[in-house]
Chains A and B, each alone.
Chain A
């Protein structure tokens, strides 16, 4: 897959209507019911309305359920225009995985290592934002250690600084790693929380500033959630 065909596909190829409906049924009905009734994910929405147009969603990453849960909060009319960004080396292993990632998750696969890449991931995501797509990013880059947040990679900063008008929505995901930990295949319901932060609109900020602001917003939500339910010491 060369860079030119990749861009062509993104810019010219409009998602067919059938795909929009398929994704809507999958995420707004099926996964929403699974998260609400079986897994018991609690959605905590932010105060302000969801911005129109393209958005960059960023979240901490511990489980394969993370991308699924984020797809359920995307507005219905933009669900086919929202792509999660996934690792080529893991999800591109077989033809079936590639097909499922493209059609059922609406994901784009990027290469995590510099050696085997024929397209620069940042350029690819940049082109997608230009063509009006929203992105779901996990700046930690990997699922990592359960319940522990790794340092954020700079990619989200690069993208947001090139598109100052596109809001970045930080999302904190708590507890989904218990439902489907790394290396397991069966979902065992353990609950969890999806906390949507206020959209960050950062004008004239440097790459590092944006990345740090996003990381800080998610860490703040994490500590707020933990402290909200702590008991006061007994009198």
Chain B
């Protein structure tokens, strides 16, 4: 029992960021409640539903992050699995390729196990080098070549985008010790989750309030230049002020925040493009007010690997 409690013990930095997240949630819930009482409308109801989902998502994220690292790995692996499971039927990968699809699902535990064991080179090479060859080959040896180009492109893409990217979040636990850095991998994980989450919210908020000019009118009419620039700038500022969770200097934190915000936007835009091609609004209906797993995690999966490499470069390679 003592061991379990110890695993939940959090350092001061992590406690602070959890307090900040909770106060933002309490504040926005109270705002929407009062707004809904004074002037009920469609927008405020949507905001209430979205905030309620944020509560649940934050609770899940925080609990799995501060728990034992093995549980964090399991939670992240489940998110990768949920993404693939949600996208494969939409990408029309079923029936004929179902055995290869099963193989793609089996890649997930292997990749996260490599992360857990800290096997760096194998972790970095497993999907983009080995699976990149193995999966197309298995598709070929079935002897069915009709439409095979589609499957050969989609399966490795899906693995790199939604498994390889996400698994870098787990690999934060393998960072070597950095002198003077106390927040630990949990702190870094919460830092990224906070930045990508707040980036999405702020781009939405800036776009709703002052948005005029669409960035990608053909792909996603709701994304505006005002939302993008406002979101990226405010996320950069937040990244500097939450620097206590990272081993970064102020300018390094600003650069990281900027990159995370831009990468989050890119992931969002790519997902919008995929969804528009399929002809659907949301990738699913798992999260009320947000849509499916991809609708919420597109930014995370795109920002995870760049974030990991920035932290590694600033914190480890260049000596902090």
Tell me if B's interface is mostly helix, strand, loop or mixed: helix
Most A-side CB within 10 Å, residue of B78, B218, B284: B284
Contacts A181-B95, A191-B86, A191-B89 known; A231 to B284 CB distance under 8 Å? Answer: no
Bound CA span A230–B99, Å: 29
Q: Which of B76-110 contact A (CB under 8 A)?
A: 78, 81-82, 85-86, 88-89, 94-95, 98-99, 101-102, 105
Instruction: Tell me if B45 is interfacial: C-beta within 8 Å of chain A.
Output: no
Contacts A40-B82, A178-B95, A188-B102 known; A229 to B280 CB distance under 8 Å? Answer: yes
- Interface membership of chain A positions 163-201, coded 1 if the CB is closer than 8 angstroms to chain B and 0 otherwise: 000000000000100100100101011110100000000
Contacts A189-B105, A190-B85, A191-B86 known; A229 to B282 CB distance under 8 Å? Answer: yes
- Interface membership of chain B positions 206-228, coded 1 if the CB is closer than 8 angstroms to chain A and 0 otherwise: 00000000000110010000000
Q: Size of chain A's interface in residues, with CB distance under 8 A?
A: 21
Chain B residues in 8 Å Cβ range of A42: 284-286
Say which size band chain B's interface belongs to.
Answer: 20 to 34
Q: Which of B296-318 contact A (CB under 8 A)?
A: none
Contacts A42-B286, A234-B218 known; A191 to B280 CB distance under 8 Å? Answer: no
Q: Which of B264-304 contact A (CB under 8 A)?
A: 275-276, 279-282, 284-286
Chain B residues in 8 Å Cβ range of A16: none
Bound CA span A42–B89, Å: 14
Measured CB to CB, the residues of A under 8 A from B are 37, 40, 42, 44, 146, 175, 178, 181, 184, 186, 188-191, 193, 229-232, 234-235
Chain A residues in 8 Å Cβ range of B279: 230-231
Most B-side CB within 10 Å, residue of A178, A186, A230: A178
Chain A residues in 8 Å Cβ range of B94: 178, 190
Bound CA span A40–B280, Å: 19
Going nearest first, the 4 A-B pairs with the smallest beta carbon separation are A188-B98, A178-B94, A190-B89, A229-B280
